[in-house]
């Protein structure tokens, strides 16, 4: 170019703006460089590359190996009629029993010696959900790391369907029990078993003449009363009880879901296809020793699962 002829570029203000825009663009590209690597392209490496910040270490909320267990609930958890007629047998309880034939939840988690020292059973035969807050209040005195809950069958097993516990009351009592636990032990875990399928109990037990005679003594009359009747009224009565049990289980699931340290069994106890071998040979209603072992399996599987 002829030095005597000066090239006339853009005005000063326009040139300054162009330079600033170029600098700004370079700065943006430089700052975004680490995140702008494509999915198939390697990230920058070498001594000049920034090391990725380590992910924060989070302690899982649910501990699959709690160090102590307390149980609350009704006659199923006391082992009623599993060893002898009309008698509690906590030794074979699915939750805390020490029997090798059952291999209870506590034994599976703590070992035989640990279960003997660090598990406690506060269940009471005949208890309903309204009794659970009181049982929970006693259980928290032991400071258990896990509380196993199985209650609700007696709320449905009443003299008549109209006497069954209303679902709203059932839910409120369960919520109170959880509040009682949380007030004393905010970090304790809760395993909640679903209410068993009472209609299946009727279907299995009615095959035994002796069982039907025992039922006449007053065992779960809302479902088991007049067991051979198949008329419309009897079928409607049993369906009403069945519906109530399902509503109870929905309440258990929903309340448990609101607590990050509570696990519901997903309906596993309710859905278990038990047969006569899992029923007491004295009343054809409560779990036999084999039935208790099956309940222990379900509980252990739920408690030790990586995810609920």
From the list 118, 64, 70, the residue with the least C-alpha distance to 93 is 70
- Label residue 236 exposed, middle or buried (CB < 10 Å: 0-12, 13-18, 19+): exposed
Contacts 24+ apart (CB under 8 A), 109-115: 109/65, 109/66, 109/69, 109/146, 109/300, 109/303, 109/304, 110/67, 110/68, 110/69, 114/67, 115/69
Percent of residues, the chain, with pLDDT higher than 90? 78
Average pLDDT over residues 134-153: 98
Q: Is the pLDDT of residue 37 over 80?
A: no
Collect all residues with Cβ–Cβ distance below 8 Å to 207 and sequence separation of at least 6.
276
Residue 58: its pLDDT value, please? 55
Identify which of 135, 177, 171, 139 has the alpha carbon closest to the alpha carbon of residue 155: 171
Contact 50, 37 (CB under 8 A): no
Which is higher by pLDDT, 208 or 73?
Answer: 73
Summarize the confidence of residues 6-35 as an average pLDDT: 38
| pTM attached to this predicted model | 0.81
Range 32-59 average pLDDT: 42
d(CA 120, CA 90): 10
Determine which of 40-49, 245-254, 284-293 has the lowest per-residue pLDDT on average: 40-49
Whole-number mean pLDDT of the chain?
Answer: 86
Domain parsing of the chain, residue ranges: 69-304
What pLDDT is recorded for position 282? 92
Q: Per-residue pLDDT for 22 more than 60?
A: no
Q: What is the mean pLDDT of residues 16-26?
A: 38
Q: Residue 308: what pLDDT?
A: 81
Report pLDDT digits (tens) over 187-219: 999 999 999 999 999 999 998 898 899 999 999
For residue 211, what pLDDT is reported? Answer: 87
By C-alpha distance, which of 147, 231, 227, 205 is closest to 181?
Answer: 147
Tell me: pLDDT of 76 over 50. yes
Task: Out of 17-26, 148-157, 228-237, pick the least confident.
Answer: 17-26
Domain 69-304 has CATH 3.30.70.1450: no
Helix (H, G, I), strand (E, B) or coil at 73: strand
pLDDT over 50 (residue 64): yes
- Span 48-63, mean pLDDT? 59
pLDDT of 80 above 80: yes
Q: What is the pLDDT of residues 103-126, one digit of tens each?
A: 999 999 999 999 999 999 999 999
Q: Which of left, alpha, beta for 193 (phi over 0: left; psi -120 to 50: alpha)? A: beta
The β-bridge partners of 72 are 149
Q: What is the pLDDT of residues 235-264, one digit of tens each?
A: 999 999 999 999 999 999 999 999 999 999
| Confidence band, pLDDT 50/70/90 cuts, at residue 53 | low
Given pLDDT bands bounded at 50, 70 and 90, which one contains residue 50? very low
**Among 52-56, 222-226, 250-254, which stretch is predicted with the lowest mean pLDDT?**
52-56
């Amino acid at each position: 170019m002829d030095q005597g002829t000066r090239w006339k570029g853009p005005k000063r203000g326009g040139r300054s703006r162009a330079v600033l825009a170029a600098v700004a663009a370079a700065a943006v590209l430089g700052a975004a460089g680490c995140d702008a690597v494509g999915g198939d392209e390697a990230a920058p490496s070498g001594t000049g590359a920034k090391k990725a910040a380590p992910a924060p270490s989070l302690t899982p909320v649910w501990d699959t190996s709690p160090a102590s267990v307390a149980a609350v609930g009704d006659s199923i958890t006391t082992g009623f009629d599993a060893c002898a007629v009309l008698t509690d047998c906590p030794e074979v309880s699915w939750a805390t029993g020490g029997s090798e034939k059952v291999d209870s939840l506590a034994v599976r988690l703590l070992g035989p010696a640990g279960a003997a020292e660090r598990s406690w059973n506060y269940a009471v035969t005949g208890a309903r959900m309204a009794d659970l807050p009181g049982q929970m209040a006693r259980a928290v005195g032991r400071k258990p790391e896990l509380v196993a809950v199985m209650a609700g069958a007696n709320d449905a097993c009443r003299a008549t369907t109209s006497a069954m516990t209303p679902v709203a009351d059932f839910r409120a009592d369960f919520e109170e029990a959880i509040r009682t636990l949380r007030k004393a032990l905010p970090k304790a875990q809760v395993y909640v078993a679903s209410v068993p399928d009472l209609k299946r109990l009727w279907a299995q037990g009615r095959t035994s003449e002796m069982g039907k005679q025992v039922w006449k003594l007053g065992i779960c009359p809302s479902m088991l009363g007049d067991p051979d009747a198949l008329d419309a009224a009897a079928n409607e009565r049993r369906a009403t009880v069945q519906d109530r049990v399902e509503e109870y289980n929905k309440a258990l699931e929903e309340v448990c879901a609101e607590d990050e340290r509570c696990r519901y069994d997903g309906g596993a106890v309710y859905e278990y296809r038990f047969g006569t071998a899992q029923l007491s040979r004295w009343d054809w209603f409560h779990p036999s020793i084999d039935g208790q072992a099956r309940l222990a399996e379900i509980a252990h599987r739920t408690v030790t699962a990586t995810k609920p």
